[in-house]
Structure 1
Amino acid sequence: MAELILHHYELSTFSEKIRVAFGLKKLAWRSVDTPPAPPRPLLMPLTGGYRRIPVLQVGADIYCDTNIILPALQRLHPEPTFYPAGSEGVARGLSFAWERAIWIPTIGVISHFIGDMFPAEFIRDRKEGYLGIDISKAAMAPSLPQHLQHVHAQYAWLKAALADNRPFIFGHAPSALDLTCYQTTFLMRKNCPPEVDQLAGLAPLAGWYDRVAKLGHGTPQPMSAEEAFAVAKAASPTPPTHLQANGDPTGLRAGQKVTVTPDDNARVPVSGTLVAADATEIVIHRHDAEAGDLHIHFPRLGFEVVAA
């Protein structure tokens, strides 16, 4: 089996979700340190222009977005599962809802504490190329009360779910939903002073947070971007046998030219030829002049697929 290669950077909260996923499954993986903002000259050809982080690479198969990376890891390494006690549907649905609801409010809380430390080029990239909003402290400060309302409301149901002292959301075993809720908590607790626990109401979750953190990051080994690119160039994409070639419920057919675009932010379309799809995943083929043939995988939730 090809090595698991994660393109990520240390302070990326969505990357932390996948790093802890490796820990839950006790996996060995290769770690490619990636700049927080483009240009990423050796990664962009692999993704067709998709600019968000993290990206999982398995040979010449490229997985974009954590909500397709986790199912891919589950398929490749089924045990221990991300979905204990038949929780897959709830875990996947609530993970998507959690991230959509809490992402900008979480940034608002972080900006309150450290927004004046963000480099100017980082702020400019997030405004012009990624989020479409100014995340500087001065710009975010007026909305802090509203951001805190969203954070407290969202964390209220998580605290209620854990109120009976269960170790994890679904009971005794950690799940994909624990990883999702942990990663935004990690973003606040990693980057803010201890006062954030009081401001954002995180203190009652400290025990749960520590249990998820103790899952660790598996066994990473560093890899350069050049080495990862060479792996893709030398490999051939794996046929997606877990999907039907013409299983798309909206009628898209294998062989069609399509574009796939995030529907919320970083809306860079990725073009290719449809390989296979269903209601949860789409795989497109791209040929890069240097990297060769690639399969790029996206989740359906959060992405728009349009026939060219």
Structure 2
Amino acid sequence: MSDLILHHYPTSPFAEKVRLILGYKQLAWKSVLIPMIMPKPDLTALTGGYRKTPVLQIGADIYCDTALIGDVLEHLAPAPAIYPDAVKGAARIVAQWADSALFTASMAYNFQPAGVAQVFAGAPAEGVQAFVADRTAMRGGAARMASADATGTYKSYLRRIASMLREQDFLFGAQPCVADFAAYHPLWFTQERTPALAGILDATPEVKSWMARMKVIGHGSPGKCSAEEALQMARNARPVALQGEVFQDEHGIALGSQVEIAADNFGLEPTEGELIAATRTRYTLRRSDDRAGTVQVHFPRVGFTLKKVSP
């Protein structure tokens, strides 16, 4: 198997989710650091447009969105499982809630003035302005939740998580599952990046104890890799052969069509390519780039839109 390469930056909450899963499964991986904001020319050479963090690269196969990355890592290292059979459906539902509703409320809370001062301590004003403009563009111009509304919502969500943790170490039992990794990363940002605001966690001691258990999982032992080395690995590799059922038609778009795939609500930059698979759970595009060569870019179905490109 080719090296696992994670394209990320240290303060990304969603990257922390994947770093912990890699640590939990004790998988060796290489770290490519990417910019926090656009442009990200080395990353988009691989993805064709998708810009969200993180992205997993395995040779010439590029995996977008942490929900799909979790599935890929589970396939590569089934034990310890993050999708245990007994709770698989419920764990996925909680993870999807955590990656959307919980994340949205927590980040709106975190980015009130006291949090902004800590996140951008020492940064020039133009850097802060560039970050704000970048994230506004990612939301498609939609307003961020007001901090007062976010505070009340976040407190309610923390109480719900605490309720799930009564008399057990993790959200669904004695071992962590995908729901734990998804629920942890927004709270990690509060605790680690905006500690001036972390007092919100004090009312739920069960949550704080659980966070301590999650933190000790760690990230394993990542190695370093430059962006150019990652691009060279993609150029030198051959995309994996797709196996099993590769087509479940929900759009009336045939395999081999030129299509665009984009997230449906955040980070809307599309990726264009040839549709070579549309399975029950994912889409796969084939595309070529002067720097990355021929790659396969994979997306989950849930949370993404597919449309045909007009000739």
Length-normalised TM-score, structure 1: 0.91
| Contact residue 102 and residue 183 of structure 2 kept, 8 A | no
| Aligned twin of 1:152 | 155
CA apart distance, 1:157 = 2.1
2:21 alignment counterpart: 21
Answering whether residue 252 of structure 2 is matched by residue 228 of structure 1, we say: no
Residues 245 and 253 in structure 1, CA contact (< 8 A), matched pair in contact too: no
In structure 2, the residue matched to 1:171 is: 173
Aligned residue pairs total 300
Match of 1:124 among 130, 133, 153: 133
- The verdict on how the C-alpha distance between 1:184 and 1:271 changes in structure 2, with shifts beyond 3 A counting, is same
Identify the residue that residue 190 of structure 1 maps to in structure 2: 192
Structure-1 separation of matches of 2:140 and 2:208: 29
Question: Identity of counterpart residues, as a percentage?
Answer: 34
Q: Partners in 1 of 2:23 and 2:158 — Cα distance?
A: 24
Which residue of 203, 206, 217 maps to 1:204? 206
Structure 1 counterpart of 2:272, one-letter code:
S
Aligned to 1:259: 260
- Write the distance in 2 (CA, Å) between the matches of 1:178 and 1:199: 16
- Amino acid of the residue matched to residue 128 of structure 1? A
**Structure 2 counterpart of 1:207, which letter?**
S
Q: For residue 280 of structure 1, what is the aligned residue in structure 2?
A: 281
Contact 1:126–1:134 under 8 Å retained in 2: no
Deviates more, 1:287-296 or 1:227-236: 287-296
Could you tell me which runs of 5 or more consecutive residues in structure 2 were left unpaired when the two chains were aligned. Answer: 121-127
Q: Deviations over 1:229-281 (max 9, x none)?
A: 1000101110221x522234455432122110101111111111111122321
* Aligned twin of 2:124: none
Give SS of 2:162's match: helix
- Preserved contact between residue 245 and residue 254 of structure 1 (Cα < 8 Å): no
Match of 1:89 in 2: 89
- C-alpha deviation, 1:109, in angstroms: 1.5
Contact 1:246–1:252 (8 Å) recurs in 2: no
Report the alpha carbon displacement of residue 184 of structure 1 after superposing the two structures with TM. Answer: 0.8
Aligned to 2:123: none
| d(CA) in 1 for partners of 2:140, 2:157 | 21
| 1:155 maps to amino acid | L
In the alignment, structure 1 residue 162 sits paired with structure 2 residue 165: yes
Letter in 1 for 2:131: F
Identify the range of structure 1 (3-12 vs 97-106) with the bigger mean alpha-carbon deviation: 97-106
Q: 2:140, 2:268 within 8 Å by CA — same for their partners in 1?
A: no
Secondary structure of the residue that 2:306 maps to in structure 1? strand
SS of residue matched to 1:170: coil
Question: What SS does the aligned partner of 1:238 have?
Answer: coil
Structure 1: any 5+ residue segments left out of the alignment? none
Aligned partner of 1:196: which letter? Answer: A
Confirm whether residue 62 of structure 1 aligns to residue 62 of structure 2.
Answer: yes
Determine the structure 1 residue equivalent to 2:46.
Answer: 46
Q: Give how far 1:172 is off.
A: 1.1
Alignment CA distance shift 1:70-1:186 (3 Å): same
Q: Is the contact made by 1:258 and 1:307 (CA closer than 8 Å) also made in structure 2?
A: yes
Q: What's the offset of the Cα at 1:80?
A: 1.1
Whether the 8 Å contact between 2:235 and 2:292 is mirrored in structure 1 is: yes
Secondary structure of 2:158's counterpart equals helix
CA distance in 2, matches of 1:194, 1:111: 11
* In structure 1, C-alpha distance between the alignment counterparts of 2:203 and 2:99, rounded to whole Å: 18
Deviation at 1:199, TM superposition (A): 6.4
Shift of 1:11: 0.2
Q: CA RMSD in A?
A: 1.9
